[in-house]
Structure 1
Amino acid sequence: MDFLEALFLIIAMAIAFSSSLIGVRWWISKARLLGFVGRDMNKPSEVYVAEAGGIWVSLATAIGLLSFIGLQTYIVNDQGLLKDFASISLLSFMSGYLGFLDDLLGWKKGLRASHRILLMAPISLPLIVLKVGVPTVVIPFIGVVDLGLFYYLVLIPVGVVGASNGFNMLAGYNGLEAAQGILLLLFTSILGIIKGTDGLTISSLIMVASILGFLVFNKYPARVFPGNTFTYSVGAYFAALTIVYKTIKFSLALFTLYFIELMLFLRGLRNGVYKENFGIPREDGTLIPPYDKSYSLTHFAIRVLIRLKGRAREPEVVLFIAALQTIVGLVTLFLFEIGLLS
């Protein structure tokens, strides 16, 4: 990345951050005025918070990406990243719109899981129509295989749907989804630096800036919830970066906590429990596990914190999971460096 490209990135990140910050601040007052609020389930008293603030993250990210392209186009006459960034920004905004629709319909009253899957699949169209990514895979003992249309029409939609719904599973605590999104994308940006893939680093850091603007109001005690608007958008964006920049092994390893969350969820179903991630708040603001067993990493975090400290508070649960994600990220980078994920 040369000096001008780095300068354009800083400007684009500043635009993304400020767009998110200003948009969320405005949205909080409007959502409260409209009664578009939800109860904060980890608080002992009835605290109500503005819903669906994540829409501004997807919008700010798209603005940041297009700002970067605009700077490159008009100052250095370079549109090398136009195709990638146009498809990623459109996908981010489309997935955010679907999440916003789900949030509008209401928690537990929104889109059915089957409907979400059916509606998420077409959101991958920007990647399919612009034919981004490389439809070849390396199969052991066989070699390089060109998957052709199967890659674009099947694997890309499956990847987008899987990542967006997977990222949505580990949620429900002030700042949790935002912290996880920042960490996933920061480690992805480091991968871009190691590989010398400027587009991967730039697009990752622009969304990080957007999430940071949102986190100002989402950190404990939150004034705004991210909603499915946020989780769908960030999950789909992460999948898009994986597809466009061919980082499948790395991204799957980085997503380890979400595979664990899926297994814990299935464990709950096997025991007849359709789990919620929330803890049970006590009068002093601490949390206790909601079930006899852990059916989410959040439940596991509460149990560990109680054993270590004698209590568990919401911000500590978020920090505990963020620490786990940091460990996963560092191990993933190490495995990439020694060639196991290349």
Structure 2
Amino acid sequence: MCACQRVYIFLIYFFDIVRIPNGVSPSLTLAVSILFGGFLGLLDDWIDLRWRLKAFLPLIAAIPLISFAYRWGNARTMIALPLLGTIDFGIYYYFIIIPILVTIVTNTVNMLGGLNGLETVCPAIVMIGLMMVSGSNAILLLCPLIVWLTLAFFNFRGKIFVGNTGSFAIGITLVAFAVISDLKFNLVVSVLPYVFNSSLILLTFFLYRKKANVTFNGEKLVSDHRRSLITLITYQRPLTEHQVVTIISLLVAASTATALLLFQFF
């Protein structure tokens, strides 16, 4: 999947299909970000990286995005927020906002997984939402979306497993595309279910030193605690794997639709 995305994006760069001033290449920036995301995920699959490393290694992927935003101009330091108006973060945008976005989105996407289809269907929904309001930049994700939807089809049926390689790659793909297309707020709203899941996991772990676990009785999933989004949904309520994935996908679809509405009206 990562190789296909990179080849496609490099072709866009080679034929200069997407151009913007100041010698900035959105396609090359996106390709480099995806390359690092895939490598980080592959490394995690091989040697099982400690969570401290996984939390901060994505910051390296922020470097090409910082360079892109800086060379693009001052307009990139502004973020339009509903009711609050447009906020100019100035230099803090480059060294605080972008790194935080990369770290949070990449890790939250990676943390919500473990069920067939969950790691592919939900990111595909967010990707489609971003593409719908990205204008000409949507072509950057055309091939990646097709490949990802194909993976989602087989992953949902339990035929393939994308692993950390896929989840890290798609996480960085989403945040890189959002920065390139100036859709940071849309991305944040779209991934709110991811953020909620990660917050629940981290809070229960650091406060009670307990991890989220779900029990499979042979047919359905059930949990006796609420320490993650999955265990919250299955708390004393047995559900099949596909039912859980469908519920979470609907939550992501709702947050993505909310982001689209906010984009249109604010």
Q: Same fold (TM over 0.5)?
A: yes
Corresponding residue of 1:147: 90
Which one of the candidate residues 284, 291, 296 is aligned to 2:228?
296
CA distance in 1, matches of 2:96, 2:263: 27
Q: Residue in 1 aligned with 2:133? A: 191
Q: Give the deviation of 1:190 after TM superposition.
A: 1.5
Structure 1 counterpart of 2:155, from 218, 227, 237:
218
Larger radius of gyration: 1
Residue 63 of structure 1 pairs with residue 26 of structure 2: no
Q: Deviations over 1:160-219 (max 9, x none)?
A: 111101111211101101001110101111122xxxx211x2223332112123234322
3-state SS, counterpart of residue 25 of structure 2: helix
Task: Measure how far apart 1:301 and its partner are.
Answer: 2.5
Check if 1:228 corresponds to 2:172: no
Q: Name the CA shift for 1:209/1:231 in 2 (closer, same or farther; >3 Å).
A: same
Partner Cα distance (1:123, 1:243) in 2: 12
Number of residue-to-residue matches in the alignment: 257
TM-score normalized by structure 1? Answer: 0.68
Amino acid corresponding to residue 61 of structure 1 in structure 2: Q
Distance 1:313 1:135, change over 3 A: same
2:19 match:
80
Instruction: Please identify, of 119-128 and 237-246, the stretch whose mean Cα deviation from structure 2 is larger.
Output: 119-128
Q: Deviations over 1:28-87 (max 9, x none)?
A: xxxxxxxxxxxxxxxxxxxxxxxxxxxxx22221122223344x44xxxx5516700111
| Partner Cα distance (1:227, 1:327) in 2 | 25
- Write 1 or 2 for the structure with the bigger share of helix: 2
Local SS of the residue matching 2:246: helix
Equivalent residues of 2:34, 2:172 under 8 A apart: yes
Equivalences for residues 251-270 of structure 1 within 5 A = 251-269=187-205, 270=207
The answer to whether the 8 Å contact 1:137/1:147 transfers is no
Q: In 2 relative to 1, CA 79–256 (structure 1 residues): closer, same or farther, beyond 3 Å?
A: closer
**2:40 matched to 1:103?**
no
Structure 1 residues 258 and 146, CA gap change in structure 2 (3 angstroms):
closer
Q: Is the 8 A contact 2:80 2:185 kept in 1?
A: no
Provide runs of 4+ in structure 1 moved above 4 Å. 137-144
Q: Assess if the C-alpha contact under 8 Å between 1:66 and 1:86 holds in 2.
A: yes
**CA distance in 2: counterparts of 1:141 and 1:213, whole angstroms:** 40
SS of 1:111's equivalent in the other structure is: coil
Cα distance between partner residues in 2 of 1:154 and 1:259: 18
Larger CA deviation: 78-87 vs 222-231: 78-87
**Corresponding residue for residue 120 of structure 1:** 58
Report if aligned partners of 2:78, 2:86 keep a CA contact under 8 Å in 1.
no
**Aligned residues of 1:95 and 1:123 also touching (Cα < 8 A):** yes
Gaps spanning 5+ residues in structure 1: where? Answer: 1-56
Matches within 5 A, 1:1-342: 57-70=1-14, 72-73=15-16, 78=17, 80=19, 83-105=25-47, 110-130=48-68, 131=70, 134-137=76-79, 145=88, 147-148=90-91, 150-192=92-134, 197-199=135-137, 201-220=138-157, 222-269=158-205, 270-276=207-213, 279-283=214-218, 285-289=219-223, 292-303=224-235, 306=237, 311-339=238-266
1:6 corresponds in structure 2 to: none
Deviation at 1:129, TM superposition (A): 3.5
Q: Which amino acid aligns with 1:286?
A: K
| Equivalent residue letter for 2:10 | L
How far does the alpha carbon of each residue in 1:303-339 deviate from its partner, in whole angstroms, 9 at most, with x for none? Answer: 48x4xxxx41111111111111112222222222221
What is the rounded CA distance, in whole Å, between the counterparts of 1:318 and 1:294 in structure 2? Answer: 17
**Percent identity among equivalent residues?**
20
**132-141 vs 258-267, which moves further:** 132-141
CA 1:143–1:324 in 2, change beyond 3 Å: closer, same or farther? Answer: closer
Q: Secondary structure at the match of 1:168?
A: helix
Q: Deviations over 1:216-272 (max 9, x none)?
A: 43222x233222111211111111122112112211111110121123214422333
Offset of 1:91 from its aligned partner? 0.6
CA gap 1:136/1:333 in 2 versus in 1, 3 angstroms: closer
